[in-house]
């Protein structure tokens, strides 16, 4: 099955952008529109079990990398740059190690190839606790999440997954049950006997603890031609929290 996507721009240079866990392609609309003015075509992809893409009981970085390869073949994209945030960043790294000839360069946003104790189970439990048959608006769902998820912007991000059926009842676009069951797959390290030789920019949010220098040095064993920069006034969602500086830094990297 082929991943769902939104394509923005008509430029000669191609970027494929991969969202994070419980995210979707539309999270990157603003960035794609802006970079399209600089000669880039962006493919905003919904990864399996997310957004409008297919649901599957199989879920791992290996499967997601193969999905992306099928997507590239289907869309006649021979070589492209990759931007991946969090889970999307790990998927991009796995793809580059399996299909290195297809990747021009990569931007990896606030994630490393190491294993993580994500704490995402709490978020998934909170979402699963919502009785969808008893709500009539996102506002009601937001109230139900307040006790477990204090941050309003985080709740807004998560509730983008709520969609309406033709009968006006709500459902989750993401495959909540499988994502909950396979959460351990998200936390796994990216392991490979290969290495990726092309340029990579690792970007961390200055106030995020997902990326540290020791972890980055370890990552250079897989990605020796990489550099790390930190963006101030940003946490894990760097591209959303400091979009101006994020855009400037990534545009310079992609143009060079």
Which of the residues are catalytic?
Answer: 86, 177, 236
Helix locations, 22-137, DSSP H: 29-35, 61-74, 87-98, 120-128
Give the residue from 254, 138, 140, 135 showing the smallest Cα distance to 200: 254
Which residues does residue 143 pair with via DSSP β-bridges, in sequence order? Answer: none
Residue 36 has phi, psi (to 5 degrees) of: -65, -25
Q: CB count, 10 Å around CB of 2?
A: 12
Task: State in Å, rounded, how far the first CA of the chain is from the last one.
Answer: 34
CA distance 7 to 16: 9
Q: Which two tokens stand for residue 217?
A: 């040095």
Q: Which two tokens stand for residue 74?
A: 């289907």
Please list, in sequence order, all residues whose beta carbon lies within 8 angstroms of the beta carbon of residue 101, skipping any fewer than 6 positions away. Answer: 79
Q: What are the counts of helices (DSSP H) followed by strands (DSSP E) for the chain?
A: 11, 9
């Amino acid at each position: 099955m082929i991943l769902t996507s939104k394509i923005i721009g008509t430029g000669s240079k191609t970027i494929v952008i991969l969202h994070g866990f419980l995210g979707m392609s539309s999270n990157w609309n603003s960035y794609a529109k802006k970079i399209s003015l600089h000669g880039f075509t962006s493919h905003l992809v919904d990864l399996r079990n997310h957004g409008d893409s297919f649901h599957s009981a199989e879920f791992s970085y290996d499967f997601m990398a193969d999905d992306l390869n099928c997507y590239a073949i289907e869309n006649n994209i021979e070589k492209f740059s990759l931007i991946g945030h969090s889970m999307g960043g790990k998927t991009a790294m796995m793809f580059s190690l399996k299909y290195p000839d297809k990747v021009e360069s990569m931007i990896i946003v606030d994630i490393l190839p190491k294993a993580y104790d994500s704490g995402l189970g709490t978020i998934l439990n909170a979402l699963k606790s919502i009785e969808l048959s008893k709500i009539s608006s996102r506002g009601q769902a937001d109230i139900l999440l307040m006790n477990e998820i204090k941050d309003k912007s985080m709740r807004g991000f998560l509730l983008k997954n709520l969609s309406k059926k033709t009968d006006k009842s709500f459902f989750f676009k993401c495959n909540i049950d499988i994502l909950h069951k396979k959460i351990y797959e998200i936390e796994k390290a990216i392991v490979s006997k290969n290495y990726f030789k092309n340029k990579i920019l690792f970007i961390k949010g200055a106030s995020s603890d997902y990326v540290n220098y020791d972890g980055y040095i370890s990552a250079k064993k897989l990605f020796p031609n990489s550099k790390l920069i930190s963006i101030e006034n940003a946490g894990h969602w760097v591209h959303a929290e400091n979009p101006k500086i994020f855009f400037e830094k990534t545009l310079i990297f992609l143009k060079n």
